Structure 1
Amino acid sequence: MLSLHTIKPKSGSTKNRKRVGRGNASGHGTYSTRGLKGQKSRSGVTGLKRLGMKSMMLNIPKTRGFKSLKPKAQVVNLFNLNQFKEGAKINQKVLIKAGLIENNETPVKLLGDGELKIKNLQITGLKNSIIKDLP
Structure 2
Amino acid sequence: MNLSNLKPAVGATRNEKRIGRGTGSGRGGTSTRGHKGQKSRSGYSKKSGFEGGQMPLQRRVPKFGFTNINRVEYKGINLDALQSLTEKNSAATMDVAYFVTNGLVSKNAKIKILGRGEITQAVEVHAHAFSKSAVEAIEKAGGKAVTL
Q: TM-score, normalised on structure 1? A: 0.49
Structure having the larger proportion of residues in strand: 2
Q: TM-score, normalised on structure 2? A: 0.45
- Larger RCO, structure (CA 8 Å, separation 6 or more): 1
